[in-house]
Structure 1
Amino acid sequence: MRALCATDLSAASEAAIENETCLECLGRIGVDTIHLVTVVPANVHSGMPGVNFEERRRRGLDQYREVIEAAGFDVETHVVRGTPYRRINGIAETVHADLSVVSSRGQSPLENRVIGSTARNLARTTVVPLLVNRVERATDDPEVLREDLFRRVLFATDFSENAERAFDAFSYLRHATEEAALVHVRSPKDEDADIDPRERLAERASTLETWGIETRIEVRHGDPADEILAVESEVTPSAVLVGSKGRSRIRRLLLGSVSEEIVAQATGNVFLVPPPRAV
């Protein structure tokens, strides 16, 4: 598997990319090649006096390369110019990445606005599964909040086609997962459904348990994002696994979707699986 790791060379990015446990977790799910990508924003000019941004960033990536290669991965580096989320998506497609990783402090003060906006825009437009890796807020020397990226997974489902696609990610996440909580939030239109959601969750739990994953199920009522976040605060998973429902470029840019709210507000990591890309 190939992973694309995006970095702006900030302390938050460094905490995620050089964390030994995080790298070990990526190895467990089958990642053997990591593409390190940094994007010089288009409005930053290389001709500014005394500044060579591309060279500085390449040196920064070389430092990361040494750490990641020592952990047993093949590494390729990319220094590009443009709009960060667009270039990251473009490189993910070009190198046939199986997932992308971006760090986020979950806030956007001025000093973190680039990486914060990049994480949000990737959540809306990502072309491959996206791991938003949380790091500590309001500190100059941040640490990763959930080092064991996939040890405890909270899977949120509405039983849609893309939710099932997200569940399929367990086919490789299971090698790093020990516990899982499966959650469905019922809406009024679900009340007349032919199949009890607990039965549907139980079927999926049975699959995970055959893989040795300790699993619990829960059905809630209310606002989907609020209830999913409430479960996250109760079970403190390493990551929330959820599918993105965007079907078109326009819909993906709309604010307020459940997946976007989870990416914005979750305490821990979020693993977002997008719909299949149209050919």
Structure 2
Amino acid sequence: MRAVLATDLSAASEATIENETCLACLGRIGIEEMHLVTVIPSNVHAGMPGIDFENRRKKAIETYRRVIERAEFDVEVHVVRGTPHRRIRGIAETIGASLTVVGSRGKSPLENRVIGSTARNLARTTETPLLVNRIERGSEEPDVLRQHLFRRLLYATDFSENADRAFESFSYLRHATQEATLVHVETPKDPDPTEDDPERRLAELAERLEEWGIETRVDVRRGDPSGEILAAESEFEPTTILVGSRGHSRLRRLLLGSVSEEVVARADGNVMLVPPTRTA
């Protein structure tokens, strides 16, 4: 399996790359080949006065390459120019990546609490499963907030086709997963909440995970989906939330469903977002 590891050479990116525990987790789920991608924005030029971008970039990338190679991954470096999220997404699609990893400082102190634009735009447009690796804020030398990426997963489902696709990610995540919490949120907008028993459906999913030795609990909630998923995160403290990027919504993929966008923007820890299957 191949992964794209996106870096803007910031402290957040450095924390993601240099955390050996996170790299080990990626190795456990079957990642063997890392593609380290850095995108030079179109408005940044090597000759800009007072800043030696080119030299800084070369030194940082070489350091990152050595770190990843020491973790026993094959490494390929891509330095490209353009719009970051478009170039990262394009490389991931070209190489057939199984995962794209991007670091994010997480919640902004501003009231709207948006994540960094590259992570946000990748979340809205990615064709590849996306892992937003949450980095602590307010530190000159930040660290990742949840080191063991897949040890405790919180899987949120609305029983849609794409939620089912996200669940199938356990086929490889299970090699690094010890605990899982399966969450469904009932809302007044559900077509017919009495038609099927969500607890029974979650229990069926739990049985599949328990066959793999994963300790599993189920949790049916009622209310606002994004708010209840985030409340479940606070209660169960997963290392990563696993969610499909589109459920019942009929919006285009470029207009990511509000629930998954809220979860990516406001979660305290890591979020893994699984997009719909690409249609021709």
Match of 1:79 in 2: 79
Conserved in 2, the CA contact under 8 Å of 1:125 and 1:249?
no
Query: Would you say 1:232 and 2:233 are equivalent positions?
Result: yes
Q: 5 Å matches for 1:120-131?
A: 120-131=120-131
How far residue 50 of structure 1 moved from its aligned partner, in angstroms, is: 6.0
TM-score computed with the length of structure 2 as normaliser: 0.93
How far residue 242 of structure 1 moved from its aligned partner, in angstroms, is: 0.1
Q: Deviations over 1:170-226 (max 9, x none)?
A: 000000000000000011235544220001000000000000000000100000000
Conserved in 2, the CA contact under 8 Å of 1:129 and 1:271?
yes
Query: Would you say 1:181 and 2:181 are equivalent positions?
Result: yes
What is the CA–CA distance in structure 2 between the aligned matches of 1:233 and 1:250, rounded to whole Å?
29
What is the CA–CA distance in structure 1 between the aligned matches of 2:83 and 2:159, rounded to whole Å?
34
TM-score computed with the length of structure 1 as normaliser: 0.93
- Over 3 Å counting, the alpha-carbon distance change for 1:196 and 1:246 in structure 2 is closer
Match of 1:278 in 2: 279
Higher alpha-carbon deviation: 223-232 or 9-18 = 9-18
Structure with a larger share of its residues in helix: 1
- Over 3 Å counting, the alpha-carbon distance change for 1:65 and 1:10 in structure 2 is same
Higher alpha-carbon deviation: 142-151 or 242-251 = 242-251
How far residue 95 of structure 1 moved from its aligned partner, in angstroms, is: 1.1
| Alignment-mate amino acid for residue 201 of structure 2 | R
What is the CA–CA distance in structure 2 between the aligned matches of 1:214 and 1:72, rounded to whole Å?
29
Match of 2:203 in 1: 202
Higher alpha-carbon deviation: 246-255 or 162-171 = 246-255
What is the CA–CA distance in structure 2 between the aligned matches of 1:222 and 1:192, rounded to whole Å?
13
| Alignment-mate amino acid for residue 203 of structure 1 | E
Conserved in 2, the CA contact under 8 Å of 1:155 and 1:240?
yes
- Over 3 Å counting, the alpha-carbon distance change for 1:59 and 1:22 in structure 2 is same
Q: Number of residues paired by the alignment? A: 277
What is the CA–CA distance in structure 2 between the aligned matches of 1:73 and 1:247, rounded to whole Å?
38
Query: Would you say 1:245 and 2:246 are equivalent positions?
Result: yes
Match of 2:10 in 1: 10
Q: Deviations over 1:127-183 (max 9, x none)?
A: 100000001111101011000000000000000000000000000000000000000
Conserved in 1, the CA contact under 8 Å of 2:21 and 2:147?
yes
SS of 1:241's partner is strand
Please, which runs of 5 or more residues in structure 2 have no aligned partner?
A: none
SS of 2:116's partner is helix
What is the CA–CA distance in structure 2 between the aligned matches of 1:84 and 1:221, rounded to whole Å?
38
| Superposition RMSD in Å | 2.3
What is the CA–CA distance in structure 1 between the aligned matches of 2:173 and 2:70, rounded to whole Å?
23
What is the CA–CA distance in structure 2 between the aligned matches of 1:141 and 1:249, rounded to whole Å?
42
What is the CA–CA distance in structure 1 between the aligned matches of 2:225 and 2:145, rounded to whole Å?
24
How far residue 54 of structure 1 moved from its aligned partner, in angstroms, is: 4.4
What is the CA–CA distance in structure 2 between the aligned matches of 1:148 and 1:236, rounded to whole Å?
12
Conserved in 1, the CA contact under 8 Å of 2:245 and 2:256?
no
Conserved in 2, the CA contact under 8 Å of 1:107 and 1:116?
no
What is the CA–CA distance in structure 1 between the aligned matches of 2:226 and 2:136, rounded to whole Å?
22
What is the CA–CA distance in structure 2 between the aligned matches of 1:249 and 1:9, rounded to whole Å?
37
What is the CA–CA distance in structure 2 between the aligned matches of 1:179 and 1:49, rounded to whole Å?
52
How far residue 246 of structure 1 moved from its aligned partner, in angstroms, is: 7.7
What is the CA–CA distance in structure 2 between the aligned matches of 1:223 and 1:144, rounded to whole Å?
28
- Over 3 Å counting, the alpha-carbon distance change for 1:247 and 1:222 in structure 2 is closer
Match of 1:60 in 2: 60
What is the CA–CA distance in structure 2 between the aligned matches of 1:108 and 1:117, rounded to whole Å?
12
How far residue 101 of structure 1 moved from its aligned partner, in angstroms, is: 0.2
| Alignment-mate amino acid for residue 9 of structure 1 | L
Higher alpha-carbon deviation: 138-147 or 42-51 = 42-51
- Over 3 Å counting, the alpha-carbon distance change for 1:250 and 1:209 in structure 2 is closer
Higher alpha-carbon deviation: 264-273 or 60-69 = 60-69
Conserved in 1, the CA contact under 8 Å of 2:158 and 2:247?
no
How much identity, in percent, do the aligned residues show?
A: 69
Match of 1:257 in 2: 258
Please, which runs of 5 or more residues in structure 1 have no aligned partner?
A: none
